[in-house]
Amino acid sequence: MDALAKIPKVQLWDTFTPLEPQVHLAQHIGAKSVLVKRDDCNGLAFGGNKVRQLEYYLGEALTQKADTILLTGAVQSNFVRTAAAACCKLGLACHIQLEDRVPKDDPEYKRSGNVLLNEMLGATLHYFPEGENEEGADQNLKEIAASLKAEGKTPYIVPMHPSHPPLGALGYIEAAFELVAQFKQLGFLPDEIFVPSGSGNTHGGLVYGLRVIGCAIPVTGVCVRRGADQQGPRMLERFKQIAELLGQPNPVKDSDLVLTDEFLAPQYGIAGPLAHRAMRIAARMEGLILDPVYTAKTFAAMLQSAEQKPERNLVFIHTGGGPSIFGYGENIRDEISNATETADS
C-alpha cells in the first residue's frame, strides 16, 4: 500500500510469524480448525505485538534524529520491555515510566518478569503513581524529556493519550496483509479472528488492514484494559485516526467493530477464572503459553465462542506477553500449576 510505504519505519525483525494449527485443541473444543498467529515469536527480546508497532514509532524517532526514547507502561508492560530491547538494537537510550495500574505489591510483580528484563536491557526506570491518567503520564514524560534536552539529548516520546496519531497501528495493517497472504497460501478462509483490544493499535490496525484490501472476515476484539462502553468509541476513533494518518478514506464500517468485555473481570492486569482456565487449556493441550493480562482473556473468548458455535475455523492472534508470567508466579501456581483438574475442566 503506497500510503503505508511513505511512512518512516525501522526494521526490527525480518520475516513472517508462523500461523500454526492447533489440532488437539480444535478437536477438543469442537472447532473445525484453530490457527494461532505466533506474533509472540517475532524475535526481539521474547517478541510480541509491540515489535510491529515500535517499527513505526522508532521510524519516526530516527527521522527526528532522536537519541533517547521515553514511554510509559504498567509495571509488567510488554511494550516498554520490547522498546528497551529495540533501543539497544538501534543504539538509543530508553527511559521507561512505570505506572501503578494494577493493585499488586508483591516482590515478584514489582521486580521479576518484564521489570527484570528492563533492567537487563539497561533502560532507565521512572515511576508514575497513577494508573488511569494518560494525560498526566504524558505530561510527566514531557518534564523528564525537558530535563534530558537540557542535558543535550534529543528525546522522542511515545505518547499514551489516545488523541495522538496511532503510528503503532500501522504495524498491524502489515500484519493483516501477512495474515491474508498466509490464508491464501493455505487456501483457507477463517470464520472469525480473535485479538486483544487495549490501546487499540493491534485491533485497530488489524481490522483496518483487512477491510482496506476487501477482506470481510469478522474480528472480535477482546477488551483487556477497559469495558466495551469506553473501548467502543475509542476504537471507532482509532479507525478514523488511521485513515487520517494514511490520508485515505476510512474503509472500516461501524458494524465491523465487535467487542466483548466478558473476560476483563476482575480488572486490567488481573486474570479471572476463565482466563486461568484458558491458560491451563492452552498450556496442557498444545504447549502454548499465554500471559494472564492479554492473551489468556482473548483465548478465553475464543474458547467460549467455539463452545457456543461449533464446527468453525478460528484464528487467534497470539500477541505475546510471556515474560509477565514471572511477575504473576504465585497466582499462576495457585490457579493453574497446582490445579488437580484435567486440562479442559
Ligand X SMILES: Cc1ncc(COP(=O)(O)O)c(C=O)c1O
Instruction: Tell me how many degrees the CA angle 76-95-50 measures, rounded to the nearest 5.
Output: 50
Q: How far is residue 306's CA from residue 308's CA, in Å, rounded to a whole number?
A: 5
Interaction between residue 78 and ligand X (CB under 6 A): yes
328 lies in the binding site for ligand X (CB under 6 A): no
Q: Is 321 in the site for ligand X (CB under 6 A)?
A: yes
**Among 219, 223, 172, 222, CA closest to 191:** 219
Kindly tell me which of 201 and 220 has the beta carbon lying closer to ligand X. 201
Task: Give the three cell numbers for residue 255.
Answer: 458494524
Among the candidate windows 47-55, 178-186, 273-281, 328-336, which touches ligand X by CB under 6 A? 47-55
Check binding of 46 to ligand X (CB under 6 A).
Answer: no
Element (H, E) at 105: none
- Separation of alpha carbons 82 and 134, rounded Å: 20
Q: Does 203 bind ligand X (CB under 6 A)?
A: yes
CA proximity to 278, closest of 225, 318, 228:
318
Contact between 272 and ligand X by CB under 6 A: the answer reads: no
Under the binding rule (CB under 6 A), the answer on residue 326 touching ligand X is: no
Q: Which of 17, 49, 68, 140 binds ligand X (CB under 6 A)?
A: 49
Instruction: Return the residue of 41, 44, 48, 223 that touches ligand X, per CB under 6 A.
Output: 48
3-state secondary structure of 71: strand
Binding mask 3-42 for ligand X (x = CB under 6 A): ----------------------------------------
Q: 154: phi > 0 → left, psi -120 to 50 → alpha, else beta; which?
A: beta
CA distances from residue 326 to 114, 295, 322 in whole angstroms, order as listed: 8, 15, 8
Nearer to ligand X, 29 or 54 (CB): 54
Q: Which residue among 33, 77, 112, 305 is the active-site one?
A: 77
- Per-residue contact string for residues 276-315; x = within reach of ligand X by CB under 6 A: ---------------x--x---------------------
Does residue number 198 form part of the binding site for ligand X (CB under 6 A)? yes
Q: How far is the CB of 291 from ligand X (least distance, A)?
A: 6
Is residue 200 a contact point for ligand X (CB under 6 A)?
Answer: yes
Beta carbon nearer to ligand X, 211 or 297:
297
Nearest to ligand X of 99, 291 (CB atom):
291
Indicate whether 156 belongs to the interface with ligand X (CB under 6 A). no
Query: CA dist 56 to 166, 170, 245, 246, 320, Å?
Result: 10, 7, 12, 13, 19
Q: How would you label 257-287 residue by residue, b for 16+ Cβ within 10 Å and e otherwise? A: bbbbbebbeeebbbbbebbbbbbbbbbbbbe
Catalytic residues, which ones? 77
Interface with ligand X (CB under 6 A):
48-50, 78-79, 196-203, 291, 294, 319-321
